[in-house]
Structure 1
Amino acid sequence: MKRLGVTEEAYTNVTDQLAQIAQPFTVRKGEFLQRAGAVATQVHWLASGVARSGFFNRDGVEVTLRFYREGESATTLTDLIAGENGQPAVQFLVAETTIHGFTLDWTQASALRAQSEVMQHYHLQAAMHGMHNLAMRAYAAGETSAQERLAAFREEYPGLESRISQRAIASYLGITPQYMSRLRREAEAELAGAAMAGTETKVEAYARN
């Protein structure tokens, strides 16, 4: 609710309406929730687990756009809209961990939304939040260093680094897994150096006293 800027009442209202069409699902790590090239028709709400969205560029290189965690809808909105006209999805959605959640048929969800101003506002907030994230992602990819992008990833997705593969994070940062390993070693070395400097300062202060 805080992330989307909606009230508890609105969240409860929308959840109750969508529960009418929700279907439980489970996928294992590495399985696709949505494949690029297939028509997207489903919204995936995650009760537990992590999903990743991305696409393949002209050179066939996998590019990760974002991650989805518990309490989020793993959804590529542009693909769902394109799917209304039978056009294939550009992005894929893949499970980075085992996922439990609920699927919602996009056509049915759209019909419910058309009848509810509360749901319309809720989905508008969700769409704006997604657009903001993509805009910040585009800026970070083009204007910041790999070290800064890693720091931004850790701030946006706290605790996620230990749950997913280094390869997935490297894809998100636009670097190789090898360079990702180097960044981690450098970060760990900096933390160790800072900790040692802090210890030495405390020892010196104790000695003076």
Structure 2
Amino acid sequence: MKRIDVSEESYNHVTNLLAGIAKPFHVRKGEYLQRAGVPATQVHWLASGVARSGFFNRDGIEVTLRFYREGESATTLTDLISGESGQPAVQFLIAETPIHGFTLDWKQASDLRAQHEVMQSYHLNIALAGLQSMAQQAYNNGETSAQERLAAFREEYPGLEARISQRAIASYLGITPQYMSRLRREAEAGLETPGDDLPDEHQA
């Protein structure tokens, strides 16, 4: 509620509305919740576990966009909107840990949203929070050093570093896993990392 700035009353109201279309699901670590190239039709609400969204760039390099944790909907909104007309998803969603949660059919959820003003306001807040997070990440990737991006990741996702792979974090930061290891070693040793990015920091 704090994260998306909604009241407890609104949260409970929306939860009760969605309960009628929610279906439980479970996936193991490494399984896809959504595959790129396949139309997206489902929203995945996480009761436990961590999911990661991303895409493959023109060079075939995996780029991580964000992480989803307990209490969040692992959703790529643009893909869901495109999926309404049968267009394939651009992004993937993958389980970084075992996940338990509920799936919601996007069309059914959209129909409910059209009928209830409280859901319209609720989902607008979710969309705005997601846009703000993506805008901040774009700034971090373009204007900050790798060390600063790692610090921003730790602030954005407290405690997550210990739960997921170093490779996933490196993909999110736009650096190689090797450079990620170096940053960690230097941080643990209390050394100062240069502010400018080094050539070996970028994805090969």
TM bucket normalised to smaller: over 0.9
Would you say 1:141 and 2:147 are equivalent positions?
Answer: no
Unaligned runs of 5+ residues in structure 1 are 192-209
Would you say 1:130 and 2:121 are equivalent positions?
Answer: no
Partner of 2:14: 14
SS of residue in 2 equivalent to 1:137: helix
Unaligned runs of 5+ residues in structure 2 are 192-204
Partner of 1:196: none
Q: What letter is aligned with 1:180?
A: M
Task: Please state how far the C-alpha of 1:83 moved relative to its aligned partner.
Answer: 0.3
Q: What letter is aligned with 1:87?
A: Q
Would you say 1:98 and 2:93 are equivalent positions?
Answer: no
- What is the rounded CA distance, in whole Å, between the counterparts of 2:14 and 2:93 in structure 1? 24
- What is the rounded CA distance, in whole Å, between the counterparts of 1:139 and 1:165 in structure 2? 24
Q: What letter is aligned with 1:153?
A: F
Partner of 2:42: 42
SS of residue in 1 equivalent to 2:159: coil
| C-alpha distance after superposition, 1:22-71 (max 9, x if no partner) | 00000000000000000000000000000000000000000000000000
- What is the rounded CA distance, in whole Å, between the counterparts of 2:9 and 2:48 in structure 1? 23
Superposed counterparts of 1:1-209, under 5 Å: 1-190=1-190
Task: Please state how far the C-alpha of 1:170 moved relative to its aligned partner.
Answer: 0.3
Q: When the two structures are superposed, what TM-score results if normalisation uses the length of structure 1? A: 0.91
Task: Please state how far the C-alpha of 1:72 moved relative to its aligned partner.
Answer: 0.2
Task: Please state how far the C-alpha of 1:133 moved relative to its aligned partner.
Answer: 0.4
SS of residue in 1 equivalent to 2:190: helix
SS of residue in 1 equivalent to 2:178: helix
Task: Please state how far the C-alpha of 1:145 moved relative to its aligned partner.
Answer: 0.3
- What is the rounded CA distance, in whole Å, between the counterparts of 1:162 and 1:128 in structure 2? 28
Q: What letter is aligned with 1:98?
A: P
Task: Please state how far the C-alpha of 1:115 moved relative to its aligned partner.
Answer: 0.3
- What is the rounded CA distance, in whole Å, between the counterparts of 1:186 and 1:68 in structure 2? 28
Task: Please state how far the C-alpha of 1:163 moved relative to its aligned partner.
Answer: 0.3
SS of residue in 1 equivalent to 2:88: coil
- What is the rounded CA distance, in whole Å, between the counterparts of 2:107 and 2:47 in structure 1? 22
SS of residue in 2 equivalent to 1:23: strand
Q: What letter is aligned with 1:185?
A: R
Partner of 1:207: none
- What is the rounded CA distance, in whole Å, between the counterparts of 2:161 and 2:173 in structure 1? 12
Identity value in percent: 81
Structural RMSD (CA): 0.6
SS of residue in 1 equivalent to 2:20: coil
- Following TM superposition, the consecutive aligned residue runs of length 4 or more in structure 1 with deviations greater than 3 angstroms are none
Q: Give the paired residue count.
A: 191
Q: What letter is aligned with 1:15?
A: T
| C-alpha distance after superposition, 1:128-163 (max 9, x if no partner) | 000000000111010000000000000000000000
Q: When the two structures are superposed, what TM-score results if normalisation uses the length of structure 2? A: 0.93
